Amino acid sequence: MRVLCCVKRVPAPGAKINITADGQDVDTAHLGFAMSPHEECAVEEAVQLCERFDGEATVLTLGPPEAEEQLRYAASLGVQKAVLLSTDGSSWDPQRTASAIASAIETLEAADGPFDLILFGNESADSGGYQVGIRAAHALGRPIVNAIKGIEPDLDAGTATAKREIDGGFELYNLPMPAVMGVKEGLNLPRYPTMRGRLASKKIEVSVMQAEADEGGQTRVTLKQPAETVSNTVKLGNGPEAAPAIVDLFEELGLL
Amino acid sequence: MADILVLAETEDGAVVPATLEALTAARQLDGDVHVLLCGDSVDADDAAERLGEYGASTVHVGESDLLNVFGPEAWGQALALAIEEISPDVVLASGTSKGNEVLAMAAARLDLPFVANCTELPSELADDDEVELTRVQWGGSLLEQSQLSAETRIVSIAHHALEAESAGGSAAATETIDMEIDDLYARTQVVGREMAEAGVTLATAPIVFGGGRAVGSAEAFAPLEECASLMGGRVGCSRAVTNNGWRPHRDQVGQTGTRIAPELYVASGISGAIQHWVGAMASKQILAINTDPEANMVVKADYFVEGDLHQVIPAVAEEIKKRKA
């Protein structure tokens, strides 16, 4: 089984996200980076499936040269191959991103055969365009369903059952492979890198390809902060002695 | 006058409330409001009455066996066909999971841009090929001004960005469009469902007792569970808690978990990082219980108790039992 997971390097913010003086980007001077949370689960799923079915997991990212850090992290979790679609680090619109990823996948598959499963994060943590995986799947002519929180392949049948979370339960889909899925956190519990994994991640060879595609019809003009939530916080008390005041509040709000 | 096409999302035989938000937004534009209703899972006359009340003039019913249950590829093709038939200036849906999915699918087919999760729709959207839109980034922690250039402008309005308001309109006219959907797309149709036991969910609970990393273990959630069960609420948690495996992911409140909107959110031992805050910010009132009076969650809360949740929560459970007795 061959599984590809597509990830995005994003800043790892704490309590507030600051914007650069020109308003064009998140100020990352004091921030670390990570892959989007949904995609950590995509990587974990790819590794688990390839462990179960004796397969090969590949990770791909479109981003600046620094995104190699996220590829090596994926390798430390057990991914065997890594591909960097290199950009100059500027913000790429969703049409352009999807088009570059789809043509890179075609190149990879021409060399090593098709991926049975391609996993995208349902949406990126930062720009959240909700479309790159769908556009790439359409360009490749493959089925895709989003919001997936459970995957069970049946290699004999050549299909994969996918569970999509809806309010109060799950919807089930049965996709013929090769298939594409947009996955969400909760699909699994990602592992932490082991010492052996860390060593492997240093040795892995990252294939670098130049990302190329035409610009689409959406352009970022600027980023801005939403109106601040200002609250006149009322202190109800200290420690367990505040319990009656808390339950008074429940009663006032008609909750008890 | 411009033409606006709104995608109707359906669930359990009815149009979902989020679609009424999209109609309310569509009405603010100067245009004729059309709706695409896919398949026969919803009674077209009932839908026309409901959608008309919220401002739709015409409901176009897409007819095909492949549209009667949801499938993102079939519905995406149906929307693309409707766009070709109606030639709308604007195509709109609520930015729900399926709304964004179907818009993206149609946009991919037509090779058009798609701007997801706008917070409001400027009037120029109806009649200008180049328009600047405000949209959500980071789950709502940042906003982006985005330039959209397209003859057909496909956008979603962020779910809960506005409240649905009736226009008091009469039933919309209905027209059927015979849709030729590619048989291949049966491959992504819903084939079944697994529903949890009925009851209050995290998304619908009137009170949520949330715990963060400071709770310390899976077992230490017991007092929060007790409070939630005494009050008909649910327990929620932060991403740190699910990453530690203390609670299942379905309990996570946050950007990558559930967006909650209870009457009261009791946030215990939660610092209030962005990831968590965007899932909790729609709560009507927030009570923070924390040892740190400077914590982000405390600063943004309506009420605050300074203290250790391991002492405060059991005392709250006792007090609730005393008053219920």
Q: Which residues pair with B193 in a beta bridge?
A: A171
Q: How many CB atoms lie within 10 A of CB A226?
A: 15
> Is A221 in contact with B287 (Cβ distance < 8 A)?
no
Mean pLDDT computed over every residue of chain A? 95
What is the model's pLDDT at position A51?
97
What is the model's pLDDT at position B160?
87
What is the model's pLDDT at position B226?
97
- Report the residue of A26, A124, A173 to disrupt the B interface, i.e. the one with the largest count of B CBs within 10 Å: A173
DSSP conformation class of A140: H
Binding-face residues of B in 112-141 toward A, CB within 8 A: 112-117, 132, 136-141
Helix (H) / strand (E) containing B49: helix B44-53
Question: Is B93 in contact with B118 (CB distance < 8 Å)?
Answer: no
**With 90 as the cut, is the pLDDT of residue A248 above it?**
yes
- Report the residue of B16, B100, B213, B283 to disrupt the A interface, i.e. the one with the largest count of A CBs within 10 Å: B100
Task: Tell me, yes or no, whether B200 lies in a domain.
Answer: no
Q: Helices B309-324 and A243-252 sit at what angle, rounded to 10 degrees?
A: 60
Cis peptide before A178 (omega within 30 of 0): yes
> Is A131 in contact with B300 (Cβ distance < 8 A)?
no
Q: How far apart are the first and last CA of chain B?
A: 64
Nearest CA in chain A to B190: A173
* Same-domain pairing of B227 and B181: no
* Same-domain pairing of B179 and B265: no
* Same-domain pairing of B96 and B219: no
pLDDT digits (tens, 9 = 90+) for A129-149: 999 999 999 999 999 999 999
Mean pLDDT computed over every residue of chain B? 96
Average pLDDT over residues B222-231: 97
Contacts with A16 from chain B: Cβ below 8 Å: 274, 296
Contacts with A176 from chain B: Cβ below 8 Å: 187
- Going by pLDDT thresholds of 50, 70 and 90, the confidence category of residue B11 is very high
Structure tokens at B6: 């709104």
Report the residue from A130, A169, A255 with minimal CB separation from B104. A130
Shortest distance, CA B278 to any CA of chain A (angstroms): 11
What is the model's pLDDT at position A144?
98
- Going by pLDDT thresholds of 50, 70 and 90, the confidence category of residue A40 is very high
**Share above pLDDT 70 across residues of chain B, in percent, rounded to a whole number:** 100
Query: Is this complex's ipTM strictly greater than 0.90?
Result: yes
**With 90 as the cut, is the pLDDT of residue B135 above it?**
yes
What is the model's pLDDT at position B196?
82
* Same-domain pairing of B73 and B143: yes
What is the model's pLDDT at position B198?
74
Q: Using CB atoms within 10 A of its CB, is residue B245 exposed (0-12), middle (13-18) or buried (19+)?
A: exposed
Higher pLDDT, B197 or B274: B274
Average pLDDT over residues B73-95: 98
Residue where a domain stops, chosen among B188, B223, B246 = B188
- Report the residue of A22, A24, A247 to disrupt the B interface, i.e. the one with the largest count of B CBs within 10 Å: A247
Average pLDDT over residues B191-219: 92
Binding-face residues of A in 60-119 toward B, CB within 8 A: 93-95, 98
Question: Is B249 in contact with B257 (CB distance < 8 Å)?
Answer: yes
Tell me, what CATH number does B162's domain have? 3.40.50.620
* Same-domain pairing of B169 and B296: no
* Same-domain pairing of B218 and B309: yes
Question: Is A117 in contact with A109 (CB distance < 8 Å)?
Answer: no
Helix (H) / strand (E) containing B208: strand B207-211
Contacts with B149 from chain A: Cβ below 8 Å: 217-219
- Residue A141, chain B, CB below 8 Å: the answer is no
Distance CA B202, CA B22 (A): 24
> Is B137 in contact with A127 (Cβ distance < 8 A)?
yes
> Is B303 in contact with A233 (Cβ distance < 8 A)?
yes
Distance CA A247, CA A241 (A): 11
* Same-domain pairing of B31 and B112: yes
Contacts with A214 from chain B: Cβ below 8 Å: none
- Going by pLDDT thresholds of 50, 70 and 90, the confidence category of residue A15 is confident
- Provide the residue ranges of all domains of chain A, joining segments of one domain with +: 2-230
Question: Shortest CA distance to B244 belongs to which of B210, B275, B264, B216?
Answer: B216
Residue where a domain stops, chosen among B160, B188, B216 = B188
What is the model's pLDDT at position A13?
81
Report the residue from B70, B148, B255 with minimal CB separation from A218. B148
- Going by pLDDT thresholds of 50, 70 and 90, the confidence category of residue A109 is very high
CA dihedral A138, A144, A148, A152 (to 10 degrees): -140
Shortest distance, CA A240 to any CA of chain B (angstroms): 4
Contacts with A217 from chain B: Cβ below 8 Å: 112-113, 148-150
- Going by pLDDT thresholds of 50, 70 and 90, the confidence category of residue B200 is confident
Tell me, what CATH number does B280's domain have? 3.40.50.1220
Contacts of A160 (CB under 8 A, 6+ apart): A117, A151, A152, A153, A154, A174, A175, A177, A179, A181
> Is A144 in contact with B72 (Cβ distance < 8 A)?
yes
Question: B155-179 burial, b if ≥16 CB within 10 A, otherwise e?
Answer: bbbbbebbeeeeeebebbebeebeb
**Share above pLDDT 90 across residues of chain A, in percent, rounded to a whole number:** 90
**With 90 as the cut, is the pLDDT of residue B311 above it?**
yes
Three-class secondary structure of residue B192 per DSSP: strand
- Give the CATH number of domain A2-230; options: 3.90.1150.10, 3.40.50.620, 3.30.70.20, 3.40.470.10: 3.40.50.620
Task: Tell me, yes or no, whether B279 lies in a domain.
Answer: yes
Structure tokens at B141: 């922690």
Which stretches within A53-167 are classed as H helix? 68-76, 94-112, 132-140
Average pLDDT over residues B56-60: 98
Contacts with A129 from chain B: Cβ below 8 Å: 114, 116
Higher pLDDT, A165 or B20: B20
Task: Tell me, yes or no, whether B199 lies in a domain.
Answer: no
Task: Tell me, yes or no, whether B70 lies in a domain.
Answer: yes
Q: What secondary structure, in 3-state letters, does A2-55 show?
A: EEEEEECEEEECCCCCCECCCCCCECCCCCEEEECHHHHHHHHHHHHHHHHCCC
Q: How far apart are the first and last CA of chain A?
A: 54
- Going by pLDDT thresholds of 50, 70 and 90, the confidence category of residue B237 is very high
Residue where a domain stops, chosen among B188, B221, B244 = B188
Helices (H) and strands (E) in chain A, counts: 6, 13
Contacts with A98 from chain B: Cβ below 8 Å: 108
What is the model's pLDDT at position B239?
94
Binding-face residues of A in 178-197 toward B, CB within 8 A: 184-186, 189-190
Three-class secondary structure of residue A71 per DSSP: helix
> Is A26 in contact with B143 (Cβ distance < 8 A)?
no
Report the residue from B142, B301, B311 with minimal CB separation from A233. B301
Question: Shortest CA distance to B302 belongs to which of A237, A243, A234?
Answer: A234
* Same-domain pairing of B34 and B88: yes
Q: Which amino acid is at B321?
A: K
**With 90 as the cut, is the pLDDT of residue A228 above it?**
no
Question: Shortest CA distance to A42 belongs to which of A14, A12, A74, A66?
Answer: A74
Task: Tell me, yes or no, whether B197 lies in a domain.
Answer: no
Q: Which domain holds residue B124?
A: 2-188
Higher pLDDT, B140 or B94: B94
